Amino acid sequence: MTDKEIRNILLISVDQWRGECLSSAGHMVQTPNLDKLALDGLAFRKHYTQCVPCGPSRTSLLTSMYAMNHRHVSNGTPLDATFTNIALEVRKKGYEPILYGYTDTPVDPRGRDKNDPDLKTYCGVMPGFKVGSLVSEEMAVDWFGELEVKGHQLPENQFDITIGKSDYPGVKERGLSFAPPAYDKDSSDTAFIADKLINYIKIHKDPWFLHGVFLRPHPPLFAPEPYNTMYNPDEIEMPHRAGDVETEKAQHPYLEFALDNMAKVGAYMGHEENVRDLPDHEIKQMRAAYYGLISEVDDQIGRVIQSLKDADQYDKTLIIFTSDHAEQLGDHWLWGKLGYFDESCHIPLIIRDPRKNADASRGQVIDRHFSEAVDIMPTILDLMGMKPSMQCDGHSLRSFIEGRKPDKWREEAHWEVDFRDLKGLKAEERFDLTSDQCVMTIIRDDDFKYIHFTTLPSLLFDLKNDPNEVVNLAENPDYTAIVLSYAQKMLSWRQNYAARRMSHIQLTSEGVLEREYCRI
């Protein structure tokens, strides 16, 4: 074995991190540790998730399947247990994949009793992972336990410990999200996950596979000191949006629906008021808190990377950093992740491959080609010398990592948003749709973005002249040919990437014939 060979895999994912929020990408947010990782690796600037929210997007990441194929379309929709995933695949190579964080994978209910407690939560674990410690929106027993040991008294709703202290000096002037939570930066959920990863790296010799999942910068938007004061809201731009909510709603019936059902600020700031109605100074402060949480995660990732170096594991470890999805952050008057705008689905990707073959791409940026979350699993398997499953919809990024231009590559990014509401039927009743009709599919390249709904009107944006996606050109007769062209591209993509199941296998008089082929 050479000194620089992949023996270990560290797959880091964060939650709700916008793709442009890296200082190396020119953003005001400070991410020095990820910048260093990018300088020693490869950054993908046009990287997109396949779906929202958290659970479905992580399923696409870990199974390399588009939502139209894995059908885990909402938090709570079960994932078919017959699918493989990165954890199950690397076990074939002798790895025991360890999870610190969460995957939000609802279990397949078939074959389980209706009283099984696993059927009462969407916070299940992707099959194949051994749990080191769980920290998610709904479950953080180990972290809460550590907080109690440190003397913190947990509220009845334990996750309310993350909400800032309303009596904190300066809150009245700057807004509630200026307040830090009761715990310090060394006791946060972000520090907790980093500590667990560091302890594992210290104790275990290679080979190993770690999946570290940080909840932040996911709301509530309260950053511990000193991150709560790191960014001056006066220096932060307001979101790009129409002059008022009603004007924004006029773009499309779905956008009107989304804005009418916008989450209360409780998900972001800890009190019940519509997030749309906050004054400008509170909006800027919330964005400042979001950036503070990003810098906190960056610092903790820096600690993890340093632990690899201290343990003489850095040059044996494939490091991948990405996010499940992004965050509207007030753009188009929206907060969260919920639609067709890039703000919800453009995410970061940095890959650091220790091999000598990757030296040619170190410090480079891939900004002319689109990559997708489904590419991560086949990339890892390819670099480990394993053959990606025929289930995979993504494609290995190895050629980019080794400084080579692939012979063929996609010219656009694709994602899907399923907005069904099986429990409340809000969308179904609003639009008189079946649940299966509550879906949109998005295709975007450098020139245009096209959004197709089953029955609602389509959208088309000229990204060269309208990068903020304000003017819908779909009904403009001058753009009819372009709409048709992108609709055809979308149909061809769906036909090409329909779930294979066993369509690549044929039973013959000589036995089983199996064809392996790439779909790009």
Q: Say whether 127 sits in a helix, a strand or coil.
A: coil
Give 494's contacts (C-beta < 8 A, 6+ positions apart).
68, 441
> Cβ(9)–Cβ(315) under 8 Å?
no
Three-class SS string for 380-445? Answer: HHHHCCCCCCCCCCCCCCHHHHCCCCCCCCCCCEEEEEECCCCCCCHHHHHHCCCHHHCEEEEEEC
d(CA 47, CA 349): 6
Residue 308 — φ and ψ, nearest 5°? -65, -45
Q: In angstroms, how far is the first alpha carbon of the chain from the final one?
A: 33
Give 323's contacts (C-beta < 8 A, 6+ positions apart).
13, 14, 15, 16, 17, 19, 49, 347, 348
d(CA 123, CA 55): 8
Residue 189 — φ and ψ, nearest 5°? -60, -30
Angle, in degrees to the nearest 10, between helices 280-310 and 32-39: 50
Size (the chain), residues: 520
| CA-based torsion, 31, 35, 41, 43: positive or negative | positive
> Quick check: is 54 catalytic?
yes
Report the alpha-carbon angle 484-490-491, nearest 5.
90
d(CA 380, CA 518): 17
Three-class SS string for 258-286? Answer: HHHCCCEHHHCCCCCCEHHHCCHHHHHHH
d(CA 238, CA 227): 20
Residue 159: DSSP 8-state: G
Tokens linked to 134: 């769980």
Question: Residue holding tokens 């929202």?
Answer: 52
Exactly one of 21, 54, 123, 345 is catalytic; name it: 54
Cis omega (within 30 of 0) for bond into 127: no
Report the alpha-carbon angle 89-95-99, nearest 5.
85
Give 278's contacts (C-beta < 8 A, 6+ positions apart).
175, 265, 286
Three-class SS string for 337-375? Answer: CCCCCHHHHECCEEEECCCHHHHHHCCEEECCCCEEHHH
The catalytic residues are 54
